[in-house]
RNA sequence: GGCGCAUUCGUCUAGUGGACUAGGACACCUCCCUCUCAAGGAGGAGAUCGGGGGUUCGAAUCCCCCAUGCGCUACCA
């Protein structure tokens, strides 16, 4: 397959979300796997739903995920333009061709008429659909309508009998009875094409070889076959991907916030995953595994491995829920595999954004302590704020550990104070040795002694490993915090 | 209502007629390690493959029916 050309053709109506990203990724993988071209085409023919930020948001998201495009916005290409709004002159000509060949006709019914027609049909428990009243209009009838100032749409003349079928690369043969097929509108009365016309014309003109799209589009595919036949063109090969279900399993993944069975709100926008501190490589891996699998055991795959092994034969046909828990796990795996410098650099912006005055050197030193505790980069904030704030806030009762008295707690603080102030070197190893020695001497449990010291120096019940934390905090800050704890205990 | 697509542990999946007493991962449980939390190690529980009929010496895998879920049914995509 040397001349593989696939495209992702979103409608810019909102932010880049999980469902789009997955379809996009599979197209991209298919192109990369077969050494073909990946094309981005913006289907902005619906002026009512157009969203200004949609395209920039998607391009940003794609760059973040490392998905490049060979032709499309910003990069151009030999088949441009890649915005349908810039190709508008094209579509009426093709609609006219179908009019000329008798495969299409002008329909003068207004939206209101059609709406009423549907209502009536539903009331009579009939299938809603256009009743084709304009299909066989005579020349005179049309002239009369035009004289009234009615502006027509152009409809495809679907066959009334027989059946239309196509071969789906994932599902095999799919066919429908032609009587089920509506006379689709190809050109709206404002001269804009509908999605159905524009897609077919553009896919043909751009020489698209394979169309990989979500499941929910299956019902429109027979119409496309009809259009290809009317134009006398060879259709591309089709593969319909399973949709992503919402975390509850009730319905497909929403394009807005989605609420899980636990009542929690889950992220769906790529920008939200990014802001929460998911790594692009983790999301990439995770997305690739929705509906595709490499084998019976491998879960973690590099981008290169995925490209190398990706194929439609391992794409499942059943819809799947997106597992946020598994994404969290996978993100942790990727975070743990990062080089310290790399991770520190990725954490930094999250700290700054949270308002912490975190210098790069300190962040670099803290990073090894929290690396295996991070699920998301944003978690770094609550793990590290203790290093950058001046006053700790905590309940003094926390200082007193289980099975310990206030007196013993005071003793722990005093002894710590003494040991730590007299240490020649305030490094992690020295601190640990000296303190463990003291624990033994006092006959306490390590968790009791260090528990108290942890609260005193970090203000938290859960914090990074103590000795490394103390070393990074520095002697001065540590002693000051211990003194403050002592004060809190006595007052 | 009509049409279409789907149906393997709670979840994501492996499985393409015998190697399946159905494998892996997440989540869950127990234990170990341990200064907290993690991470890590060892184990455990969890699917009679949606149901019912066939075909076959043999079916999760092929066929039929049913049920359920989802999708489409716009001058939206």
Which conformational region is residue A207 in: left (phi greater than 0), alpha (psi within -120 to 50 degrees), or beta?
left
Residue A437 token pair? 């020695």
Task: Give, in Å, how far the C1' of B69 lies from the CA of A243.
Answer: 13
Residue pLDDT, tens place only, A313-330: 999 999 999 999 999 999
| Secondary structure letter of residue A326 according to DSSP | H
- What was the pLDDT predicted at A106? 93
CA distance A29 to A20: 14
Q: For residue A128, what pLDDT band results from cuts at 50, 70 and 90?
A: confident
Domain A338-387 is found in CATH 1.10.8: yes
Model pLDDT, residue A9: 95
Residue A48 is predicted with a pLDDT of: 82
* Cβ contacts of A448 within 8 Å, gap of 6 or more: A401, A402, A403, A404, A412
How many CB atoms are closer than 10 A to CB A299? Answer: 14
3-state secondary structure A395-408: CHHHHCCCCCCHHH
Where do you find CATH 1.10.1160.10 in chain A? 257-335
Q: Residue A402's pLDDT band (boundaries 50, 70, 90)?
A: confident
What is residue A113's predicted lDDT score, i.e. its pLDDT? 86
Residue keyed to tokens 């595919």: A221
Nucleotide nearest to A152 (CA to C1'): B75
pTM assigned to the model: 0.93
Q: Which of A153, A150, A178 is nearest to A164 (CA)?
A: A178
DSSP characters over A197-223 = HHHHHHHHHTT--EEEEEGGGGGGHHH
pLDDT tens for A205-247 read 999 999 999 989 999 999 999 999 999 999 999 999 998 988 7
Stretch among A16-20, A31-35, A130-134, A449-453 having the lowest mean pLDDT: A130-134
Domain with CATH 3.40.50.620 in chain A: 91-241
For A425-437, what is the mean pLDDT? Answer: 95
Residue A336: which of A376, A364, A297, A298 has the closest Cα?
Answer: A376
pLDDT in tens, A459-488: 999 999 999 999 999 999 999 999 999 999
pLDDT value at A256 more than 80:
no
Residues of chain A with pLDDT > 90, as a percent, come to: 76
Tell me the two tokens of residue A27.
Answer: 């197209």
| ipTM metric | 0.93
The pLDDT of residue A46 is: 80
Q: How many CA atoms lie within 13 A of A339 on its CB side?
A: 3
Residue A134 confidence (pLDDT): 87
A451-490 exposure pattern, b = at least 16 Cβ within 10 A, e = fewer: bbbbbbbbbbeebbebbbbbbbbeeeebbebbebbbebbe
Nearest to A155 by CA among A86, A206, A108, A212: A108
Q: Indicate the pLDDT class of residue A264, thresholds 50, 70 and 90.
A: confident
pLDDT digits (tens, 9 = 90+) for A159-182: 998 889 899 999 988 889 998 899
Statement: the CB of A446 is under 7 Å from strand B: yes
CA A238/CA A258 separation, integer angstroms: 29
Active site residue A255: yes
Query: Which residues of chain A between 127 and 156 are close to nucleic strand B, CB under 7 A?
Result: 127-130, 153
Alpha-carbon distance of A434 to A420, in angstroms, equals 8
Inform me whether the pLDDT recorded for A2 exceeds 60: no
Whether pLDDT at A346 is above 60 = yes
User: Which of the following is catalytic: A97, A255, A445, A480?
Assistant: A255
Q: Which of residues 267-296 of A touch strand B (CB under 7 A)?
A: 289-291, 293, 295-296
At A257 the pLDDT is 65
Nearest nucleotide (C1') to alpha carbon of A194: B75
Average pLDDT, chain A: 92
Architecture of the structural domain at A257-335: Orthogonal Bundle (1.10)
Write out the CATH class of domain A396-490.
mainly alpha
Q: Which chain B positions have some atom within 7 A of a protein CB?
A: 1-8, 10-16, 23-27, 34-40, 69-77
Q: How confident is the model at residue A103 (pLDDT cuts 50, 70, 90)?
A: very high
What's the CATH class of domain A91-241?
alpha beta
């Amino acid at each position: 397959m040397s001349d593989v050309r696939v495209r992702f053709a979103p409608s810019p109506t909102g932010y880049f979300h999980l469902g789009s990203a997955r379809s996009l990724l599979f197209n991209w993988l298919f192109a990369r796997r077969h050494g073909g071209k990946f094309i981005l085409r913006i289907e902005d023919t619906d002026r009512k739903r157009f969203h200004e930020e949609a395209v920039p948001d998607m391009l940003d998201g794609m760059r973040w995920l490392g998905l490049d495009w060979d032709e499309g916005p910003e990069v151009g290409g030999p088949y441009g333009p890649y915005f349908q709004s810039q190709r508008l002159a094209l579509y009426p000509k093709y609609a006219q061709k179908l009019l000329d060949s008798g495969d299409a006709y002008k329909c003068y019914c207004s939206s209101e008429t059609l709406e009423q027609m549907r209502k009536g049909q539903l009331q009579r428990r009939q299938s809603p659909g256009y009743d084709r009243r304009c299909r066989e209009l005579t020349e005179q009838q049309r002239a009369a309508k035009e004289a009234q100032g009615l502006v027509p749409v152009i409809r495809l003349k679907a066959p009334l009998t027989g059946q239309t079928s196509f071969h789906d690369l994932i599902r095999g043969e799919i066919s429908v009875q032609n009587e089920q097929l509506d006379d689709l509108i190809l050109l709206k009365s404002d001269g804009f094409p509908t999605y159905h016309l524009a897609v077919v014309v553009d896919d043909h003109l751009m020489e698209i070889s394979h169309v990989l799209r979500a499941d929910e589009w299956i019902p429109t595919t027979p119409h496309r076959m009809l259009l290809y036949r009317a134009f006398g063109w060879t259709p591309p090969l089709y593969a319909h991907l399973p949709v992503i279900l919402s975390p509850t399993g009730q319905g497909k993944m929403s394009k807005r916030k989605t609420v899980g069975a636990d009542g929690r709100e889950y992220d769906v926008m790529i920008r939200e995953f990014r802001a929460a501190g998911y790594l692009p490589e983790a999301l990439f891996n995770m997305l690739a595994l929705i509906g595709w699998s490499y084998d019976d055991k491998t879960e973690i795959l590099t981008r290169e491995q995925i490209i190398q092994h990706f194929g439609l034969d391992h794409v499942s046909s059943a819809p799947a829920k997106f597992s946020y828990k598994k994404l969290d796990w996978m993100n942790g795996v990727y975070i743990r595999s990062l080089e310290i410098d790399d991770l520190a650099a990725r954490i930094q912006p999250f700290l700054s954004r949270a308002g912490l005055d975190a210098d790069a050197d300190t962040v670099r030193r803290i990073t090894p302590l929290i690396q295996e505790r991070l699920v998301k980069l944003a978690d770094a904030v609550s793990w590290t704020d203790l290093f950058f704030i001046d006053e700790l806030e905590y309940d003094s009762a926390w200082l007193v550990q289980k099975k310990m008295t206030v007196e013993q707690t005071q003793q722990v603080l005093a002894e710590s104070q003494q040991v730590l102030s007299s240490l020649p070197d305030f490094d992690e190893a020295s601190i640990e040795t000296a303190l463990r020695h003291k624990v033994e001497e006092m006959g306490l449990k390590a968790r009791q002694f260090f528990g108290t010291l942890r609260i005193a120096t970090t203000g938290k019940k859960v914090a990074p490993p103590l000795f490394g934390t103390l070393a990074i905090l520095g002697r001065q800050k540590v002693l000051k915090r211990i003194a403050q704890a002592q004060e809190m205990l006595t007052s």
